[in-house]
Structure 1
Amino acid sequence: MQDVQKIVPFEGSKLSKKEQIATMFDNIAYRYDFLNHFMSMGIDIIWRKKALNYLRSIQPKTMLDVATGTGDFAIMAEKRLNPEKIVGIDISEGMLAHGREKVEKLGLSNKITLQAGDSETISFQDKTFDAITVAFGVRNFENLEKGLAEMCRVLKPGGKLVILEFSNPTVFPIKQLYNLYFRYITPLIGKWIAKSQEAYSYLPESVKAFPQGEAMKTILNNVGFQAVTCKTLSFGICSIYCATR
């Protein structure tokens, strides 16, 4: 399996993976939310709700949403969990700009703050947050272990991490249909609607290379997390990783 950290959106570019990811999301920010729901036929909303249910037992007061993008997951977390404060960080200013507009329109600026931030150098003190969430973002990290270790650092003891990420189904015929859709149809939709075939060609390649299941659980354990679990959704198209510090 190819190393996910070497999968980049723009082959031949001299920019680092982190810089390429930021550029890619800046370019597609204006269509990102629509394409997420359109290409998943709305199932991604169900996945996000299921992921947040893992945090109900701890009733978090302070939350960090890493790779927050346009703030969709942070906004849903505010509605479902009602924490006192949510901070969302992302390296794409384009995505954050759209997110801030949504937060302001919803009247949530006093509870949700979206700011520029790098998952590998999180600018908060140790043991700051009760819960940390990441939706469809960890496979874009330039250094996966470093990003996960940073999240462990800023999580309070007993706090929970919930990661929602695409995975590769193994059941026939879901696997074959999924590969066909992701490899051929997704890039065409991305080119047509978001004017970025590169971004939606990168998507299936990054999912294919990302460590999944037991491999991902091992990485989470190695960086300091405990009680790590993995729950697959929709025949393995998506996975929820839950871990405690």
Structure 2
Amino acid sequence: MIPFNHLGWIFKYIGPYIYPHKIRESLCSFLIPLSNHASVLDLGAGTGIMSEFAYACRDDLQFTALDPSEGMLKFSAEYIQTHKGHAETIPFEEDSFEAILIGEALHHFTDIEKSIDEIVRVLKKEGKLFIYDFDSSTFMGKLICRVEKILGEPGNFFSPGVLEQILKSHGFSVDICQYGWRYTIAAQLSVPIKNSKI
């Protein structure tokens, strides 16, 4: 597996350069409707780079970062509350967050179904979910998936359409933006469906 616990300083340095400007714009648009001081969870946060981009758009929001690697979290900005944990067992109460951000992290989750069930559990009514990842139906997406699997990672990459159907089965409405071999999904929890099956 990739030794993330020892790579925090690298990701902290390269993070701002590997997120395209259009992805940041998409994130800012996603954040606009959130209420003042809304609680936001950065899931699979790494060094909290998604929270940093979000903070640049909405510095009034309350950011929490969750990641299994303390070596990544220790590089998070001071305005981010950090917690060690996994997406499959999110250590927060029901209805804790108005929005959840997942940036280049979904493919690292071991159990996608459990992770989305947990996302539904901790989101408030009509909560929002933002996902940025690589499209597994493209050449680059397939290549990245293959490399990550060689490195021992779960490699749970999806095409946007497949992920859309998974999220809809969990009660989300979904809006997709495609950026070549990358994409973003802005989803809103409209009809909570507990313990859904993919």
Relative to the length of structure 2, the TM-score reads 0.81
Corresponding position of 1:89: 66
2:164 maps to which residue?
217
Compare CA radii of gyration and give the structure with the larger one. 1
- Within the alignment, does 1:240 sit opposite 2:184 as a pair? yes
CA distance in 2, matches of 1:56, 1:158: 15
Residue 135 (structure 1) aligned with residue 112 (structure 2): no
> Do residues 77 (structure 1) and 45 (structure 2) align?
no
**AA matched with 1:214:** G
Q: What's the secondary structure of 2:91's corresponding residue? A: coil
Structure holding more strand per residue: 2
Tell me, yes or no, if the aligned pair for 1:59 and 1:81 is still in contact at 8 Å: no
Instruction: Give 1:54-133 correspondences, 5 Å limit.
Output: 54-59=30-35, 61-99=38-76, 103-104=77-78, 108=79, 112-133=80-101
Q: Tell me how far 1:229 sits from its aligned partner.
A: 2.1
RMSD: 2.9
For the Cα contact (< 8 Å) 1:225–1:243, is it kept in 2?
no
Name the CA distance, whole Å, in 2 between partners of 1:139 and 1:179: 11
Aligned: 1:145 with 2:113 = yes
Change (3 A) 1:88 1:45: farther
Q: Which of the residues 32, 37, 46 maps onto 2:11?
A: 32
Q: Is the 8 A contact 1:37 1:45 kept in 2?
A: no
Structure with more contact order per residue of length (Cα contacts < 8 Å, sep ≥ 6) = 1
Which residue is equivalent to 2:23?
A: 47
Contact 1:26 1:92 in 2 (8 A): yes
- Asked if structure 2 preserves the Cα contact closer than 8 Å seen for 1:69 and 1:90, the reply is yes
Matched residues in 1 for 2:174 and 2:57: separation? 23
Question: What amino acid is aligned across from residue 81 of structure 2 in structure 1?
Answer: T
- Write the distance in 1 (CA, Å) between the matches of 2:153 and 2:92: 32
Partner Cα separation in structure 2 for residue 227 and residue 205 of structure 1: 26
Residue type at the aligned position of 2:34:
I
Unaligned runs of 5+ residues in structure 1 are: 1-8, 10-20, 184-197
Partner of 1:159: 127
Distance 1:82 1:241, change over 3 A: same
Q: Tell me the residue number matched to 2:177.
A: 231
Q: Which residue type is aligned with residue 229 of structure 1?
A: D
Mapped partners of 1:220, 1:239: distance in 2: 15
What TM-score does the superposition give when structure 1 sets the normalisation length? 0.67
Unaligned runs of 5+ in 2: 190-198
SS in 2 for 1:83: coil
CA contact (8 A) 1:65 1:88 kept: yes
Secondary structure of 1:120's partner?
helix
SS at match of 2:88: coil
